[in-house]
Amino acid sequence: MNELLDVVQVKAGHGFTLELEFENGERRMFNMTSIMDKKPFSRLRDTGAFFAAHVDYGTVVWPGNIDIAPETLYDRSVPIEE
């Protein structure tokens, strides 16, 4: 179990990927493809709202009160090689 790290920056990309930067400076890639058919994330699929991702309260949020836990983002993401 990792310490709880806040997300400080997010960039939504094609293929339902999130490029994340955490407060420790680590950059990681999170692929949301496997959860995009599940509620509430399915609402982001057709509206283009996926690209409205932004950081609030240390995690990634979208319009419509959709968010995802920062520990999930960290644990299920892979490091971005520089």
pLDDT in tens, 30-69: 999 999 999 999 999 877 899 999 999 999 999 999 999 9
Mean pLDDT, range 7-17, rounded to an integer: 96
Give the closest residue to 23 by CA, choosing from 57, 58, 50: 58
> Would you give the DSSP letter of residue 69?
-
3-state secondary structure of 21: strand
How far apart (Å, rounded) are the C-alpha atoms in residues 38 and 29? 20
**15, 81 Cβ separation under 8 angstroms:** no
Lowest mean pLDDT segment, chosen from 3-7, 13-17, 22-26, 65-69? 3-7
- Token duo for residue 27: 């950059």
Q: What is the pTM of this model?
A: 0.91
In single-letter form, the type of residue at position 36 comes to: M
